[in-house]
């Protein structure tokens, strides 16, 4: 890559880039919630995936209408993976469909881009769960573990920290719930038109996921701004629906999870963003309920 090309790279040091990330993130959040609401017992996974993709195209078609050359739309197709299926199940019409039923652990994953700036989001929930009918047992364990891993990552992904700190925290949290991080799953740096940048955070592996086990996934996109991380996507997690017998034991991790993840207020005086802030990252966590040593 030439010096001129490097100089032309657009990052979140530019206000317009942040705006485009946030617009894509807002659309991703709305689409996710619409698909979650439609994901009831008896619903077709194929139809839900089609609904998500159609809504992404419809919503992105409403913005930057005057910018005829600007690309926008699906950055990652709507995927709905159930129970022990780890991720990326987005069937074609020619594929075998899956009909959701009560008790299914469902993972919805999708991505939206505006001018190549990507907002990814994933959420896990159980069909039929409610305050009166909370999720118990291994499904609750794995969902709570994955959710807390995502919350820990939000607090640890910041300039000056190492990716290994996040990996270590994920493993400690997962093992507290007798779960195992999925091997081969990565969190990636994002750039314009690049969904899997070279900076990554690794989790853990397994050759295959066995029937009878459950995999939970949460994904969000965070912009590393000068005054702290800005999370632009998130799912509608309801902690009261999941009752686990386990909790995080590590004192440092407990303190981390109880700390605020909100950004610090910044004086209006404009400053140049540091190189450390010129990154956008997709944080992704997935756990399975395989007992760990």
User: What's the rounded mean pLDDT across residues 240-250?
Assistant: 94
User: What's the rounded mean pLDDT across residues 77-105?
Assistant: 95
User: What's the rounded mean pLDDT across residues 230-246?
Assistant: 95
Closest residue by Cα to residue 153 from 172, 166, 140 = 166
User: What's the rounded mean pLDDT across residues 228-238?
Assistant: 93
* Residues present in the chain in total: 293
**Distance, CA of 32 to CA of 56 (rounded, Å):** 10
Q: What is the pLDDT of residue 264?
A: 65
Q: What is the pLDDT of residue 62?
A: 97
pLDDT averaged over the chain? Answer: 86
Residue reference for tokens 């997962």: 174
Please determine, for residue 256, whether its predicted confidence score (pLDDT) is greater than 90. Answer: yes
Give the pLDDT band of residue 54 (cuts 50, 70, 90).
very high
User: What's the rounded mean pLDDT across residues 196-200?
Assistant: 71
CA atoms within 13 A on the CB side of 58: 8
Please determine, for residue 245, whether its predicted confidence score (pLDDT) is greater than 70. Answer: yes
Please determine, for residue 272, whether its predicted confidence score (pLDDT) is greater than 70. Answer: no
Question: The whole model's pTM is what?
Answer: 0.82
Q: What is the pLDDT of residue 285?
A: 63
User: What's the rounded mean pLDDT across residues 91-111?
Assistant: 96
Please determine, for residue 282, whether its predicted confidence score (pLDDT) is greater than 70. Answer: no
Query: What structural domains and CATH numbers belong to the chain?
Result: 3-261+273-288 (3.90.230.10)
What tokens appear for 209 in the block? 């996921």
Coil, strand or helix at 66: coil
Q: What is the pLDDT of residue 275?
A: 43
Identify whether the C-beta of residue 121 lies closer than 8 Å to the C-beta of residue 219: yes
Please determine, for residue 271, whether its predicted confidence score (pLDDT) is greater than 80. Answer: no
Closest residue by Cα to residue 285 from 89, 119, 123, 111 = 123
Which of residues 266 and 293 earns the better pLDDT score?
Answer: 266
> Strand 117-126 and strand 228-231: pairing?
unpaired
What tokens appear for 168 in the block? 């270590």
């Amino acid at each position: 890559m030439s010096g001129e090309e490097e100089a032309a790279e657009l990052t979140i040091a530019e206000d317009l880039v942040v705006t485009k990330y946030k617009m894509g993130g807002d659309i991703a959040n709305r689409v996710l919630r619409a698909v979650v609401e439609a994901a009831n017992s008896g619903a077709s996974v194929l139809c839900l995936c089609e609904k998500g993709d159609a809504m992404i195209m419809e919503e992105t078609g409403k913005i930057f209408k005057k910018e005829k050359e600007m690309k926008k739309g699906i950055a990652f197709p709507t995927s709905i993976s159930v129970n022990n299926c780890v991720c990326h199940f987005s069937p074609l019409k020619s594929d075998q469909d899956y009909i959701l039923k009560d008790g299914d652990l469902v993972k919805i994953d999708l991505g939206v881009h505006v001018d190549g700036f990507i907002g990814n989001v994933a959420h896990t929930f159980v069909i039929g769960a409610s305050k009166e009918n909370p999720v118990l047992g291994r499904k609750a364990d794995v969902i709570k573990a994955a959710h807390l891993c995502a919350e820990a990552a939000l607090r640890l992904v910041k300039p000056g920290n190492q990716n290994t700190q996040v990996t270590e925290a994920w493993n400690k949290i997962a093992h507290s719930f007798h779960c195992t991080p999925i091997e081969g799953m990565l969190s990636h740096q994002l750039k314009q038109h690049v969904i899997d940048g070279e900076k990554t955070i690794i989790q853990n592996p397994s050759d295959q996921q066995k029937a009878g086990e459950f995999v939970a996934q949460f994904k969000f996109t965070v912009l590393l701004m000068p005054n702290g991380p800005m999370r632009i996507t998130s799912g509608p997690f309801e902690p009261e629906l999941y009752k686990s017998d386990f909790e995080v034991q590590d004192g440092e991790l407990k303190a981390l999870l109880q700390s605020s993840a909100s950004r610090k207020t910044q004086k209006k005086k404009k400053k140049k963003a540091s190189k450390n802030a010129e990154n956008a990252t997709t944080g992704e966590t997935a756990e399975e309920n395989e007992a760990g040593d």
